Amino acid sequence: MAAAYPRQFGKYVLLKPLAKGGMGEIYVAALGQLDGFDKLCVIKKVIPEKADEGKAKRFLDEAKVVLRLSHSGLVNTFDAGQVDREFYIAMELVEGKDLREVWNRCVRVRHRIPLEVALQVAREVARTLSFVHTYGELNLVHRDVAPPNIMLAYNGDVKLTDFGLARSALKEEHTQPGVVFGRAAYLAPEQARGEVADPCTDVYSLAVVLWELLTGHQYLQIAGLDPVAALAVVRHPKPMPPSSRAPWVTPALDAVVMRALAPDRGKRFASAEEFRLALSDAIAEAAPRTDSARVSELMHAIYKKAIAEEAAERGRFLKEVLPAFRAATTPKPEPLPAPPPAKSAKPGNGGAGAASASPAPASSPGGSERPAGRAAKRAAALKVLAELAAEDAQAPSRK
């Protein structure tokens, strides 16, 4: 039976499922206790029936890594924990789509990805990778730079996400020698051989993404091949300049991409920052108008209807769904017990056997004789004042 939404998940309210993969589930959720103070976010958690020890460790490894990182080019992760034996990570909700979805959308609507967008995506991801690779002493390598892990926001931001396969000094779950993780089409040759990844590995994967965005074609033709044959192609690629498929690519840009795609990692750019700087020089010549506004223009051109629908849905979550859910699930306060009835006087007590309650004593607060007592005190005080005044009047005659 399908789960009903919204539903409570620890301190979060799960509003709708977004995706389900081999290891986890992703939801749109809300954090907050009061209506009007809710923060929409994304919850990523391990599927309970698939939470074996290895996957749970990889999930916790990701949490350890991403909670330390804060950068404009990363999808911000702000919380991690466990609810009913389920591990979760809480991330910001990026209003946009991942690059694979954008690619497929462009194919469906026959809209070519502009040169400026391709270059902006690559430059921003290179900038983010430079931060990641040099952060503290983590020795962090992403190992899965691919279109599904690159988010394009409607406002033009480019963000890298999903560190589930990342390698860092924090990780408890270490990759066994010869084990290959990642998407085959974007693996560096050394990854396909099961060697240890380094920053040059991420540079190669990003160069594959850029080559495909520039040309509109897949870099390695491995679709339909069995895994063994596909890995053989990945291990021994035959680099082709993007200009062979896209004549508008300049020689300078060709040279940058080809260096980043060198099968021998020793011949690639030594760092993501070096790649970014070389790419920036080529952009200045080939597409000087490259910036985040070009990305935003593309997203609004191909997702105009979706942007309006998603904004309306977020508004409905905040103004209708969450208030109704809280009203239905918040326990109502129990009514106060009724005061006990007043006791009647027993017959023979007080001589009359009346049914009315006994009058309050004069000294009790609110008693009926209290005003009379105050009046008596005032009268006595006035009498004393009068006597003092009389004595003062007779004082001169006594002198």
pLDDT at residue 367, rounded to an integer: 47
What pLDDT, in 10s, does the model give residues 325-355? 998 988 877 777 777 776 665 555 544 444 4
pLDDT at residue 377, rounded to an integer: 75
- For residue 357, is pLDDT > 50? no
| Mean pLDDT (whole number) for 206-213 | 98
pLDDT at residue 47, rounded to an integer: 67
pLDDT at residue 299, rounded to an integer: 98
Confidence at 314, pLDDT banded by 50, 70, 90: very high
* DSSP at 263: S
Confidence at 192, pLDDT banded by 50, 70, 90: very high
- For residue 83, is pLDDT > 80? yes
- For residue 101, is pLDDT > 90? yes
- For residue 362, is pLDDT > 50? no
Bridge partner list, 46: 24
- For residue 211, is pLDDT > 90? yes
Assess contact for 209 and 272: CB atoms under 8 A: no
Catalytic residues: 144
Short-list 201, 207, 57, CA closest to 133: 201
The residue among 392 and 108 whose pLDDT is bigger is 108
pLDDT at residue 170, rounded to an integer: 52
3-state secondary structure of 95: coil
3-state secondary structure of 184: helix
pLDDT at residue 53, rounded to an integer: 72
d(CA 242, CA 264): 19
Short-list 122, 111, 100, 159, CA closest to 253: 122
Q: Which of 163-172, 213-222, 345-354, 370-379 is most confident?
A: 213-222
Q: Sheet containing 158-160: give its strands across.
A: 96-98, 150-153, 158-160
| Mean pLDDT (whole number) for 162-181 | 54
d(CA 29, CA 347): 69
pLDDT at residue 52, rounded to an integer: 66
- For residue 363, is pLDDT > 60? no
3-state secondary structure of 338: coil
Taking the CA atoms of the chain, what radius of gyration do you get in angstroms? 37
Bridge partner list, 43: 27, 90
pLDDT at residue 334, rounded to an integer: 75
Q: Which of 17-26, 170-179, 301-310, 341-350 is most confident?
A: 301-310
- For residue 312, is pLDDT > 60? yes
| Mean pLDDT (whole number) for 131-158 | 93
Short-list 73, 59, 18, CA closest to 172: 59
pLDDT at residue 333, rounded to an integer: 74
- For residue 361, is pLDDT > 80? no
Q: Which amino acid is at 215?
A: T
Assess contact for 90 and 41: CB atoms under 8 A: yes
* Burial of 161 per CB tally in 10 Å (0-12, 13-18, 19+): buried
Q: How far apart are the first and last CA of the chain?
A: 110
> Token pair of 41, please?
């976010």
Cis peptide before 251 (omega within 30 of 0): no
- For residue 183, is pLDDT > 50? yes
* Burial of 389 per CB tally in 10 Å (0-12, 13-18, 19+): exposed
Confidence at 172, pLDDT banded by 50, 70, 90: very low
| Average pLDDT value for the chain | 85
- Above pLDDT 90, what percent of the chain? 58
Burial state string for 85-112 with b = 16 or more CB within 10 A and e = fewer than 16: ebbbbbbbbbbbbbbeebbebbeeeeee
Q: Domains in the chain, ordered, with CATH?
A: 7-173+182-326 (1.10.510.10)
Q: Which amino acid is at 365?
A: P
| Mean pLDDT (whole number) for 200-229 | 94
Confidence at 86, pLDDT banded by 50, 70, 90: confident
d(CA 151, CA 137): 26
Neighbour count for residue 175 (Cβ, 10 Å): 16
d(CA 113, CA 103): 8
d(CA 265, CA 199): 10
Q: DSSP secondary structure string, 282-330? A: HHHHH-TT-SHHHHHHHHHHHSHHHHHHHHHHHHHIIIIIHHHHHHHHS
> Token pair of 254, please?
């060709």
Q: Which amino acid is at 292?
A: S
CA–chain centroid gap for 64, Å, is 15
| Mean pLDDT (whole number) for 257-280 | 98
pLDDT at residue 347, rounded to an integer: 55
| Mean pLDDT (whole number) for 10-32 | 89
pLDDT at residue 372, rounded to an integer: 66
Total count of residues recorded for the chain: 399
| Mean pLDDT (whole number) for 212-227 | 92
d(CA 217, CA 186): 13
Q: What is the pTM of this model?
A: 0.79
pLDDT at residue 303, rounded to an integer: 97
